Amino acid sequence: MSRLVSIQTNFAVGEIDPLLRARIDLKQYYSALETAKNVIIQPQGGCKRREGLRYIMTLDSGAANGVRLVPFEFNTDDSYMFAITPGKLYVFRDGVLITNINASGNDYLAIPEITAAMLPELRYAQSADTIIFVHEDLAPLKLVRGATNADWTKTTIAFDYIPRYAYALDFHNPNYDITPSATVGNITLTASSVTTDTGTAQAGGADTITLKAATSYTSDDQPNGMFIRITAGTGAGQVRHVEDYVASTKVLTVYPAWDTAPDATSQYSVKAFGTAMVGEYVNVTNGFGRARIVEYVSDTVVKAYVEISFFDTDTISSGDFETEHGYEDAWSNTRGWPKAITFHEGRLWLAGSGSLPSTIWASRVNDFFNFDKGESLDDAALEATISTSTLNSVTDIFSGRDLQIFTTGGEFYVPQANLDPITPSNFIVKIATRNGSKSNVPIVGVDSGTLFIQRKGKSLNELAFTDTELAYNTSNVSMLSGHLFKTPKDMAIRRATSTDESDRLMIVNDDDGSLIVFSLLRSQEVTAPAEFTTDGAFEAVGVDVDTIYAVVKRTVDSVDYYFVEYFDSILHLDSAVQASGVASTASAAHLDTETVKVILDGIVQPDETVTSNTVTFDRDSVTGYEVGLAYDVEIKTLPVEPQIQSGSLRGFKKRILEVNAEVFETQAMTVNGEQVAFRQFGEGNLDAAVTPYTGVKTVGPILGFSKEGQITITQSVPLDMTLLALDYKVSVGQ
């Protein structure tokens, strides 16, 4: 039998996958934990008890059908957190619910457009005082903050121009001549030798109209490719493309179908051109030339942009050109709306509609609601479709070093050579990697790259640009902690605000309601995961600047409730209420009938039961109280494996004789079932809070042999604890 001393100076790797218990060859093994439950891994390497959760409010029963937390930063002094449930939007500022929204008497803004089915994949982007929400089944909504915290205006966006797409591409040879004003650039096209027709219809249908008996059109193809307008009567104001005509019956078919079917009262006018022609093309079939219609001027004149130069400016006769039509708004209630959004380089970018899941659009520069490509000048709108051998349905887009596009089939970006601005002449989408991302989990940006959940929800990946390769690569951030991923459904990041903390990435698991929390300091290659649990299930997470909000499902008196809470560094309990000063009771209506923990003046008291919404203390508080639910804290090391010349200790029985725990400002701790003493005997000590201790606490001897030789740190009372390092004496025998 021999004795040796082992030391673990830090826990900077966090909790690792049980599949790695045997990988003593990895350097990460010696800084890792088997369990890191309800602790935060600090950038210096220590483990600290996580903050408690402060209760704010209880959401209505609609939260059971879905809830999202969305941040909104109005300016450096005013920032908010939205809690969105089906049909309702709650506003929080500095941890307080804003009431009487828009003087309505309601503590929420009604948003009936957002349904339960939309919430998981609801996306948003903010610019100044406006935030925009998108979903493929939602006409984009914008929310504008008014003069006060309670003033909010919600409207459906009225786009100045919606891009067009040929959902039913078709061609016609109109029965008139056209003359271009020039061969290149911005031109006009003028129609001549046009046979027009006006009158009162005999009848109408869903996509037809019966022209007057004495109509000018005597052959079947005569009006095809022209436009008909209902000038008066039923359906007045509608303009449609003439798709077909039957001279014997006078029945003319239109595209698309009428919004309001005409009848025998409808007056009509058939002309060469119509407003619906914008976005269509004119192709010269007997020669050269292709032009895109950009503006309707009159029934015989349109403006166009030449994409293929005309041979000359001579009149092009009927039969020598064709019109390319079937175009309609790319986004609509019928075709679907964009489902991803961001702002990038002065443009609003939208992507992935219901009918065009792989297409990306960009607005005109500084004209966010205008998607007109116009004459394809540098500031014009942009459009591209991702076409590869796999399905690339857009899940999200992100404004990073470049514009990044995440799809179910891979990760793409828009390259910018020499950081030149994106223009119609250099706009191209290139593939970076082929992992695919999960559609219902938002993308998160970090200093080094962009984080996303892999398509199947099994890993956390980072898309980053490498200067050595001048290309984007994807790395698996969660390689050592895949066991923590249990169907992720939400993700948010809190940026570090001081040197004693790192960036904190939080991922909500749908299976068990746990929260995966990564401490990230990418410049030092620190990626340390831990698991947060609570008496209930985490449903959503969001970050308002430096405040982490959570929606937690808790069961109280056999009924499920959805509480909005936020992590508070002065708290040691969950769903807690806290106040300073003298008090004999505390109001905790949200936990009525539950048994709760009580901390008075920093001293843990016996448990109490909330009765008639109130907790009654055994004595009055002097400086303040905290009432709430306890949560378990556990830090468990991996099986001891000292690096010795004689080889591995696997298979040998081991006994931890003594543990020396280096702690910082700690008030309570238990080591392998033995409670560590932090309170000293003396006059008045039992009437005061435990003084936080910094230094080494020694525990031992510890009885019992095992083949693992692990140390488990827990807490029996909810007080401060920060563990910096462990060194321990180990006895080894056959």
Handedness of CA 91, 93, 95, 100 (dihedral sign): negative
pLDDT one-digit tens code per residue, 691-715: 999 999 998 887 677 777 889 999 9
Residues 337 and 322 both lie in one domain: no
Taking CA atoms, 179 is separated from 105, 286, 288, 300, 311, in Å, by: 63, 14, 13, 11, 12
Handedness of CA 662, 666, 672, 675 (dihedral sign): positive
Mean pLDDT score of the chain: 92
Residues 528 and 402 both lie in one domain: yes
Residue 233: its pLDDT value, please?
A: 97
Report the C-alpha gap between 215 and 190 in whole angstroms. Answer: 24
Give residue 688's pLDDT band: very low, low, confident or very high (50, 70, 90). Answer: confident
DSSP state of 438: -
CA 345 to chain centre: 20
Report the C-alpha gap between 156 and 172 in whole angstroms. Answer: 36
Q: What is the mean pLDDT of residues 107-119?
A: 96
Residues 92 and 181 both lie in one domain: no
Report the C-alpha gap between 60 and 275 in whole angstroms. Answer: 48
Residues 399 and 530 both lie in one domain: yes
First to last CA, the chain: 7
List the one residue out of 466, 351, 358, 343 whose CA is nearest residue 399: 343
Q: Is the pLDDT of residue 300 over 70?
A: yes
Query: Which amino acid is present at 340?
Result: A
Q: Any idea which residue has 């380089």 for tokens?
A: 345
Residue 613 in any domain: the answer is: yes
Higher-pLDDT residue of 607, 706:
607
pLDDT one-digit tens code per residue, 246-299: 999 999 999 889 999 999 999 999 999 998 888 899 999 988 899 999 899 999
Residues 134 and 194 both lie in one domain: no
Report the C-alpha gap between 18 and 36 in whole angstroms. Answer: 13
SS3 277: helix
List the one residue out of 548, 540, 547, 596 whose CA is nearest residue 572: 596
Cβ partners under 8 Å of residue 229, min gap 6: 237, 238, 239, 268, 269, 270, 271, 274
SS (H, E, C) 278-347: CCCEEEECCCCCEEEEEEECCCCEEEEEEEECCCCCCCECCCCEEEEEEEEECCECCCECCCEEEEECCE
Residue 485: its pLDDT value, please?
A: 96
Residue 233 in any domain: the answer is: yes
Residue 347 in any domain: the answer is: yes
List the one residue out of 130, 120, 121 whose CA is nearest residue 339: 121
pLDDT one-digit tens code per residue, 75-103: 878 899 999 999 999 999 999 999 999 99
List the one residue out of 516, 552, 520, 518 whose CA is nearest residue 535: 552
Of the three residues 329, 344, 364, the one that is the final residue of a domain is: 329
Share of the chain above pLDDT 70, in %: 97
7-21, 405-419, 676-690: segment of lowest average pLDDT = 676-690
Report the C-alpha gap between 593 and 644 in whole angstroms. Answer: 56
Which string of b and e fits 460-477 if b means at least 16 CB within 10 Å?
A: bbbbbbeeeeeebebeeb
Of the three residues 539, 554, 569, the one that is the final residue of a domain is: 554
Give residue 600's pLDDT band: very low, low, confident or very high (50, 70, 90). Answer: very high
Residues 405 and 315 both lie in one domain: no
Residue 24: its pLDDT value, please?
A: 87
Q: Which two tokens stand for residue 218?
A: 């005597």
Residues 145 and 187 both lie in one domain: no
Residue 559 in any domain: the answer is: no
Residues 293 and 359 both lie in one domain: no
| DSSP calls for 636-668 | EEPPP----TT---TTSEEEEEEEEEEEEEE--
12-26, 559-573, 583-597: segment of lowest average pLDDT = 12-26
Q: What is the mean pLDDT of residues 158-180?
A: 92
Report the C-alpha gap between 658 and 669 in whole angstroms. Answer: 15
Burial level of 163, CB count in 10 A (0-12/13-18/19+)? Answer: buried
Residue 526: its pLDDT value, please?
A: 82
SS3 153: strand
Residues 144 and 206 both lie in one domain: no
Of the three residues 329, 362, 397, the one that is the final residue of a domain is: 329
Name the phi and psi angles at 731, rounded to 5. Answer: -105, 130
96 Rama class: left (phi>0) / alpha (psi -120 to 50) / beta? beta
Residues 253 and 314 both lie in one domain: yes
Report the C-alpha gap between 54 and 39 in whole angstroms. Answer: 17
CA 427 to chain centre: 25
Which string of b and e fits 573-585 if b means at least 16 CB within 10 Å?
A: bbbbbbeeeebee
Residues 600 and 711 both lie in one domain: no
Share of the chain above pLDDT 90, in %: 78
Report the C-alpha gap between 621 and 619 in whole angstroms. Answer: 6
Residue 535: its pLDDT value, please?
A: 97
- Based on the structure, what is the number of domains in the chain? 4
Residue 135 in any domain: the answer is: yes
Residue 187 in any domain: the answer is: yes
Residue 22: its pLDDT value, please?
A: 86
SS3 19: helix
Q: Is the pLDDT of residue 427 over 70?
A: yes
The CATH number assigned to the domain holding 550 equals 2.130.10.10
pLDDT one-digit tens code per residue, 524-544: 778 999 999 999 999 999 999
Residue 159 in any domain: the answer is: no
Cβ partners under 8 Å of residue 340, min gap 6: 123, 134, 350, 351, 352, 394, 395, 396, 397
Handedness of CA 213, 219, 221, 225 (dihedral sign): negative
Cβ partners under 8 Å of residue 13, min gap 6: 28, 31, 32, 33, 480, 527, 528
Q: Which two tokens stand for residue 478?
A: 């969660």
Residue 647: its pLDDT value, please?
A: 62
Task: Please compute Rg for the chain using Cα positions.
Answer: 34
On the question of a cis peptide bond just before residue 163, with omega within 30 degrees of 0, the verdict is no
Taking CA atoms, 121 is separated from 133, 154, 224, 543, in Å, by: 10, 20, 43, 18
Give residue 194's pLDDT band: very low, low, confident or very high (50, 70, 90). Answer: very high
pLDDT one-digit tens code per residue, 641-675: 776 656 666 767 878 888 999 999 999 999 998 99
Residue 644: its pLDDT value, please?
A: 63
Residues 540 and 664 both lie in one domain: no
8 A C-beta contact, residue 661 and residue 674: no
List the one residue out of 692, 691, 688 whose CA is nearest residue 603: 688
Residue numbers of the domain that contains 597: 579-628
Q: Is the pLDDT of residue 681 over 70?
A: no
Q: Is the pLDDT of residue 682 over 60?
A: no
Give residue 183's pLDDT band: very low, low, confident or very high (50, 70, 90). Answer: very high
Higher-pLDDT residue of 501, 524:
501
Cα atoms in the Cβ-side hemisphere of radius 13 Å centred on 506: 27
Q: Is the pLDDT of residue 684 over 60?
A: no
Report the C-alpha gap between 565 and 557 in whole angstroms. Answer: 19
Report the C-alpha gap between 355 and 167 in whole angstroms. Answer: 9
Give residue 728's pLDDT band: very low, low, confident or very high (50, 70, 90). Answer: confident
SS (H, E, C) 231-256: EECCCCCCEEEEEEEECCCCEEEEEC
Taking CA atoms, 662 is separated from 10, 165, 696, 724, 726, in Å, by: 10, 66, 4, 5, 6
Residue 73 in any domain: the answer is: yes
pLDDT one-digit tens code per residue, 466-492: 877 778 999 999 999 999 999 999 999
8 A C-beta contact, residue 444 and residue 493: yes
Q: Is the pLDDT of residue 151 over 60?
A: yes
